[in-house]
Structure 1
Amino acid sequence: MRHGHGLLRSGKLTSSSPSMFIGQWVMDKKSGYGVFDDITRGEKYMGMWQDDVCQGNGVVVTQFGLYYEGNFHLNKMMGNGVLLSEDDTIYEGEFSDDWTLSGKGTLTMPNGDYIEGYFSGEWGSGIKITGTYFKPSLYESDKDRPKVFRKLGNLAVPADEKWKAVFDECWHQLGCENPGQGEVWKAWDNIAVALTTSRRQHRDSPEILSRSQTQTLESLEFIPQHVGAFSVEKYDDIKKYLIKACDTPLHPLGRLVETLVAVYRMTYVGVGANRRLLQEAVKEITSYLKRIFQLVRFLFPELPEEGSTIPLSAPLPTERKSFCTGKSDSRSESPEPGYVVTGSGLLLPVLLPRLYPPLFMLYALDNDREEDVYWECVLRLNKQADIALLGFLGVQRKFWPVTLSVLGESKKVLPTTKDACFASAVECLQQISTTFTPSDKLKVIQQTFEEISQSVLASLQEDFLWSMDDLFPVFLYVVLRARIRNLGSEVHLIEDLMDPYLQHGEQGIMFTTLKACYYQIQREKLN
């Protein structure tokens, strides 16, 4: 009898009804939250189940780009819902069956015109309408259209309600009946027993564990001891423990992460790679972080709560000048993640690399149109030589490199020189595409600014302080020359997942500058 979280494959790809379900079972019946991939029909359902049928709130996406979120009753779309087509036509109202409009609703066209009234008929097969047609002014249309898209997600299953059975199973492995309710020493005993048992089983099995795997398992059996006030060093110890634990499926936390990666990929690949699902995918990651952080704080009670600042045990060894203000400061305006305790700072480095491919694909799909405009402009402007482009962008002449060092030789910048000015900064910014977490991407942006500054210092041979009016055109040049294909997706990912405390610091200002460059490049097309 199937009971608990699991995956069921029905039929084969060659059969008449291949499908996959991943979710919770109660007494051999689908129950709670689950994802059903109907490969034959090219549809994916993400929502609530009861007694083996879709019941409650859910979302359906199809291979043809249709998106529905709303109520389900006995496997049918029934009650209130929102339906979006690929061309941004939206229906909000009542349904009586799958893709069948029936009752009061509003149909909004891609240009902002809308019809309010009573609808009946199946989507795509002709709909009978009794209602009123509205044609708002251009100003009203632009103002109102985004509101509909902001409503998306209201009728979907809340992120914290998804995969509860997976998290409950992890808590049970730690000896807790309910989340956070149990003895910490008992949880550590259960972890040690699980790891020791697994190690003994592997010893007797034909699959011999490598020496490093055995050492990792042994190290995870010991409880990290922390005596005295909590410090950055102790925070780093916890971080190292979590990295090892999450890399080990035999550890309850490792098993949890492995399962979450499986359900996330099952949800958002294939038909699930639908741009309408981006915000759901982001909310799901945020929810994972919050719930895993609760587990971590249970295992390490001395770990301060979210947003707390860990006092530095010693001041930073060197005094540094703030890049933006020029003031000397013993610590950065935006401290490294580690001084401020956040679930994302602690857990994103572990979780995000595993979830990155499906997540970034959703960002790329969602930003497809604006990135095409941006990329067309990047290709057009990059046809110019360095001096011509610096002049076009309004970079002050004193910042134009006069000579360049190529393989140790000093060469003069000629009117025909191309892709040579600020080359180290360009190369640095290109690394943004090879990193996963917002904090790592922000460090790349910060390093790029510092490379620009070093290049200008070498050229001017005197100390100076940037003003944003001087800096912006130079940075815009570097962004154009870096030719980052999905820069819009990078910008939106950082914006959605970065730690809030970084937004007002130095890295936050630098990120805002990058974002401004991205939008400025799109506007260059109009000039």
Structure 2
Amino acid sequence: MYREYISAFTNFMVMKGFEKSAKQSSSYWKGNKKLLLQLIEEQSETPVHMILQRAFIEPFRNHVQEYSLLLSRLNETLSMDATLTDSITAYGRLQTFISQALDEASQTKTLWSSVSSKLVVALCTPDRRLQEDSKNIPVTVTPGRYDRVLVFNDLLVFLQGNEPHICDLQTVWVDTTVKQKSELNNFVLRIVTPEEELFLSTKEQPHQVLWCWKVNQLIQQRLEGTRDFPLWGKTGESNDPPNSRLSKYTYRNEGRFKNAVYEGDMSWGKPHGKGTLKWPNGRNHVGDFKFGQEDGFGICLIPDSSGDRYDCYKCHWRNGAIHGYGICEYADESVYKGYFKDNMRHGFGILENQTSTTTSWKYTGTWDRDKRTGYGVWESSDNSERYIGMWQENQRHGLGIVLLNTGSCYQGVFNASKLVGSGILITEDNNLYEGEFTEACLLSGKGKLTFANGFTLEGTFNKTAHSGLQTHGVLSTGCSFQDEILKKKFQFGAGSFPVEERWQGIFEQFQKFLESGCKREAEESFLGFHVKSSKKMQKSQEYLYCQRDNEKDLGQTEDIMKELSLELKSLQSYVEKAFNTSHHPLKKVIKLLLVVFQATYSGLGANFHLLSMAQEEIKYYAKKLWEFFRALLALKTEKSSGPLSGENDEDEMSEDLNPYTVILPAMLPRFHPDLFMLYMLYRQQEDALYWQGIVRLGHLTDTKLLEFLDVQKQLWPLKDVKLTPTQALPLTKNPANPNKAQPTPYPRRKRYSIVRHKCFQSATECLQKIISTVDPKEKLEIILKTYQEIEKTVSRVVSKDYKLPMDDLLPLLIYVVSRAGIQHLGAEIHFIQDLMDPSNRGGINDFLLTALESCYEHIQKDEVRLFK
């Protein structure tokens, strides 16, 4: 209560409240002056305002002094009672506080009386107290434009005449490491503020020490929001303020931050840590700062010209510019997700605008200094087309493919978004044109047109939008059926777009991440989200090793990487977990690769003319991910010891560890739906013929089908079939005894003739499992198991081990295939052939895959499809 009263009294005193009160009620105070003098027990000619001032303070000072003396006497009587000792100390500190508060108020009041009214208006407040004046303890300010320094309890003020340069003590740092003398033999103290750095020099070292101590003490008290009690401790006591602190500052100098208000973490005058910048025009940046610049994750709102809508940047920043991964939602409702460099879209990124269903578009590809440059995919809904190919400065430039929603597709060379020279066109009805085009992709000039029936027309073409196609040339009907099929299967982009150059932007980002040693800063920039600070993650680098199922194990020294061995199952398990762990770098790569794959090959891109491009991309993805995975393993061996440590890990890795065995099993399930659609479209005609054969053969009983396939009867497993009562034929009457039935002649043969789908049932069920997996290796294992089931059944029938020769295997395999009823078997076979491990070629798996393909081709033949 005493402290609150003294603070209120000194505030009134500083603002000259007693002088104003005495002046406004002069007649009243003059009439009662004798009573006031009696109150302070004095007889003098003191001015009225001084009498008033003393009347409001001296009784209380006297009370405190009397209490202190009384407590001291009691303490002498009670022999150092602990409670009395504490009370004596408290009242002693209160006496010191009153003296200091009155001295500060008197000194501050004197200051306001000695400076200009302009300065008083700018600085004077009731609770502001002068703490030091360079007129009392002289210092020189460098640069020399300031001639006086004032230190208040909340401000550091540099005066240039009557013009003050005001610094809030919350944003002032004192460099105590400046120990050396300057060239002028002065002692220097460095003062750091957000926009300026000043040096205070004194000729005497004690003056420097005193200034340093006072300013630091005041800064600390300002940060804590309260003055010490008493106001000053012993000279020399150190309580240096923290270098990193929460501060608020408004920038005034020219620069990017002019007129912006920063609020957040600061260190040595610079935003450093978490903070917010707000500009008067509505711009707002919230995020991480480092040494005065935006650095790390941040969200920035920038108003457009109207001021009603904003561009929203949720990005990573470096040295004050957007750098790394970011998501930008622009005022026109377009959205960019990708990488930046120096505030410009650079590297891989996706720009999409879906403001209207009639004008929506999307670009997925490479950027260079804010422009579409390099390989990319553009899809537009207004003209329902997709462009796959090269770009330069936002225009189609170089080799490109155009897919239309009608089913037609082009391949040609573009210059400034216009088709030039010759190209290839495949129409929706599978007519193929090779020749020259107009800029609008219309036939014009020399070319060759191959019709779906195999006829060719070679000559000069001219097609307009209104008059149709006009031609002058030679029509040939001599093309073979094989030539026709070859033309229909023409593959765009094969060899035209080097697969290693298509999505460099994705792989380059991961490569930089690896080269950085997988540091956390590089991780955030690469992954594209702000990783929370986690001691566990920083300590164990858990993101590299994948989380365990049991969260409590995350803090243990051991992690899943130490349990990892150079065995196939162990590596497959790790990769699978990596692809499913949101904060794992490999998850980021596989996610982006799936995005670009679907942008290219799904929807309009589901065109079998792009199959070769798609399957070589999948192989390249697996190869690059395998390289990255091995790089992570190498990084792990450098950082810790364990089963993977050692110099010869590369040599110890077995041959069965490769992209096809480690990466593809975990990767393919994500890409399979879109990739397999291309295979189904590619084999659509053959699969249709094959299915007609399957339907025909499905109507046959087992014996009929086995006979049709010329399977040796000793290999028929009919004795394994158990008939149900409903399957038995009715008994005939016995002529000798009408009341007694007799078996029908040849009952066994007739009974088995009505059986369907009972023979080789285990092999049939095994082969049907081929559609339940996407891994080519597992599909090959299923085919091998099917063969083994056929051989096992035959061995049981002939009651001995029987190795099937090709003449017996092929018809039995055709039987199993026909009963299995796999609808897209041709697509499955082609899928396995393209993506199987090259090491499996030439062995039993390759042999059986060839046999299966022969069965597939046999079922397509006319004698099967037309058989009744």
Which TM bucket (shorter chain)? 0.7 to 0.9
Q: CA deviation at 1:164?
A: 0.9
Structure with larger Rg: 2
The alpha-carbon deviation at position 98 of structure 1 amounts to 2.6
State the Cα distance separating 1:214 from its structure 2 match: 4.7
Asked whether the 8 Å contact 2:791–2:803 carries over to 1, the reply is no
Give the letter for the 1:10 counterpart. Answer: N
Distance apart, 1:223 and its partner CA: 8.6
| 3-state SS of paired residue (2:438) | strand
Q: Which residue of 1 aligns with 2:683?
A: 367
CA contact (8 A) 1:388 1:415 kept: yes
Q: Deviations along 1:200-239, whole A, 9 cap, x unmatched?
A: 47999xxxx9973857977999694699xxxx94454333
Q: Cα–Cα, structure 1 residues 112 and 42, in superposed 2: closer, same or farther, change >3 Å? A: same
> Which of 774, 790, 796 is 1:436 aligned to?
774
Given the alignment, which residue of 487, 503, 520 partners 2:841? 503
Q: Shift of the alpha carbon at 1:124?
A: 8.6
- 1:162 aligns with one of 502, 508, 518: 502
8 Å CA contact 1:188, 1:299 repeated in 2? no
What is the match of residue 356 of structure 1? 672
Aligned partner of 1:283 in structure 2 is: 616
Length-normalised TM-score, structure 1: 0.81
Residue 585 of structure 2 is aligned with which of 249, 252, 276?
252
For residue 621 of structure 2, give the secondary structure of its aligned residue in structure 1: helix
> Are residues 1:135 and 2:476 paired?
yes
Match of 2:610, SS? helix
TM-score by length of 2: 0.50
User: In the alignment, what sits opposite 2:575?
Assistant: 242
Partner of 1:28: 370
Matched letter for residue 4 of structure 1: G
Q: Which amino acid aligns with 2:504?
A: K
| CA shift for structure 1 position 118 | 3.2
Alpha-carbon contact 1:377-1:525 (below 8 Å) kept: yes
Partner of 2:852: 514
Q: In structure 2, what is the equivalent of residue 7 of structure 1?
A: 350
Answer with 186-195 or 235-244: which moved more.
Answer: 186-195
Cα deviation digits, residues 4-46 of structure 1 (max 9, x gap)? 322222133x443011221222222222211111122211111
1-side partners of 2:345 and 2:773: how far apart? Answer: 40
| % identical aligned pairs | 34
Q: CA deviation at 1:522?
A: 0.6
For 1:96, the equivalent position in structure 2 comes to: 438
Q: In the TM superposition, what whole-angstrom CA distance separates every residue of 1:141-179 from its partner, at most 9, and x where no partner exists?
A: 634762684564257423222111011111112126xxx
Does residue 115 of the first structure (1) align with residue 468 of the second (2)? Answer: no
Using the alignment, how far apart are the partners of 1:198 and 1:361 within structure 2?
37
How far has the Cα of 1:68 moved from its partner?
Answer: 0.8
1:95-494 matches, cutoff 5 A: 95-122=437-464, 126-130=468-472, 132-139=473-480, 142-143=482-483, 146=486, 149-150=489-490, 152-154=492-494, 156-175=496-515, 186-187=517-518, 198=531, 200=533, 212=549, 214=551, 224=561, 233-300=566-633, 310=654, 339-404=655-720, 414-494=752-832
> What letter matches 2:440 in structure 1?
D
2:708 is matched by which residue type in structure 1?
Answer: F
- Counterparts of 1:148 and 1:30, CA distance in 2: 33
Partner of 2:419: 77
What is the one-letter code of the residue matched to 1:135? S
Per the alignment, residue 140 of structure 2 pairs with none
C-alpha distance in 2 between matches for 1:36 and 1:217: 43
Contact 2:693-2:859 at 8 Å conserved across structures: yes
CA-to-partner distance for each residue in 1:283-330, whole Å, 9 max, x for gaps?
21122122222323333456659xx982xxxxxxxxxxxxxxxxxxxx
2:777 maps to a residue whose letter is: S
Q: 1:221 to 1:26 in 2, by over 3 A?
A: farther
**Match of 1:291, as an amino acid?**
K
Per-residue CA shift, 1:380-401, capped at 9, x if unaligned?
1111111111111111111111
Whichever residue aligns with residue 251 of structure 1, its letter is H
Determine if contact 2:791/2:802 at 8 Å carries over to the other structure. Answer: no
Equivalent position amino acid for 1:212 in 2: D
TM-aligned CA deviation for residue 257 of structure 1: 0.5
Q: Which amino acid aligns with 2:510?
A: C
Q: Which moved more, 1:28-37 or 1:354-363?
A: 28-37
Contact kept in structure 2, 1:297 and 1:303, CA below 8 Å = no
**Offset at 1:497?**
1.1
Q: Work out whether residues 5 and 25 of structure 1, in 8 Å CA contact, stay in contact via their aligned partners in 2.
A: yes
Query: Does 1:45 pair with 2:387?
Result: yes
Structure 2 gaps of 5+ residues are 1-343, 538-545, 635-647, 729-747
User: 1:3 is paired with a residue of what secondary structure?
Assistant: strand
Q: Distance in 2 between matches of 1:211 and 1:235?
A: 19
CA contact (8 A) 1:175 1:190 kept: no
2:392 counterpart of 1:59: no
Q: Which deviates more, 26-35 or 356-365?
A: 26-35
- Ranges in structure 1 where 5+ consecutive residues have no aligned partner: 177-185, 311-338
Indicate the SS of the match to 2:816: helix
For 1:491, the aligned partner's letter is I
Shift of 1:97: 1.2
Q: Which amino acid aligns with 1:463?
A: D
Q: Is the Cα–Cα contact under 8 Å of residues 69 and 156 in structure 1 kept in the other structure?
A: no
Superimposed CA distance per residue, residues 118-144 of structure 1 (whole angstroms, 9 cap, x where no aligned partner)? 3333479523334x31415354x6347
Aligned residues: 476
Deviates more, 1:23-32 or 1:373-382: 23-32
Shift >6 Å, 4+ stretches: 188-197, 201-204, 215-221, 405-409
Question: What is the deviation of 1:442?
Answer: 0.5
Aligned-residue offset at 1:417: 1.4
SS state of the match for residue 444, structure 1? helix
Task: Measure how far apart 1:282 and its partner are.
Answer: 1.0
Deviates more, 1:66-75 or 1:21-30: 21-30
CA 1:103–1:137 in structure 2 vs 1: closer, same or farther (change >3 Å)? closer
TM-aligned CA deviation for residue 86 of structure 1? 1.9
Distance across 2 between alignment mates of 1:66 and 1:220: 59
Output the CA distance in 2 between the equivalents of 1:81 and 1:9: 29
1:2, 1:26 → 2: CA distance? 7
Deviation at 1:197, TM superposition (A): 7.9
The 3-state SS of whatever aligns with 2:791 is: helix
- Hey, what's the Cα distance between the residues in 2 that align with 1:505 and 1:375? 29
State the secondary structure of the residue aligned to 2:471.
strand
- State the partner residue of 1:328: none
Q: 1:56 to 1:443 in 2, by over 3 A?
A: same
User: Which amino acid in 2 is paired with 1:21?
Assistant: Y
Q: Tell me how far 1:102 sits from its aligned partner.
A: 3.1
Is the partner of 1:403 in helix, strand or coil?
Answer: helix
Residues 35, 46 of structure 1: 8 Å contact kept:
yes
TM-aligned CA deviation for residue 462 of structure 1:
1.4
Q: 1:211 to 1:352 in 2, by over 3 A?
A: closer
1:64-108: CA deviation from partner (whole Å, max 9, x where unpaired): 110111211222222231111122211112223132233332222
Deviation of 1:402 after TM superposition, in Å, equals 2.8
Residues 438, 488 of structure 1: alpha-carbon distance in 2 compared, 3 angstrom cutoff: same
SS at 2:720's partner residue? Answer: strand
Residue 288 to residue 98, structure 1, CA distance change in 2 (3 Å)? farther
Deviates more, 1:72-81 or 1:431-440: 72-81
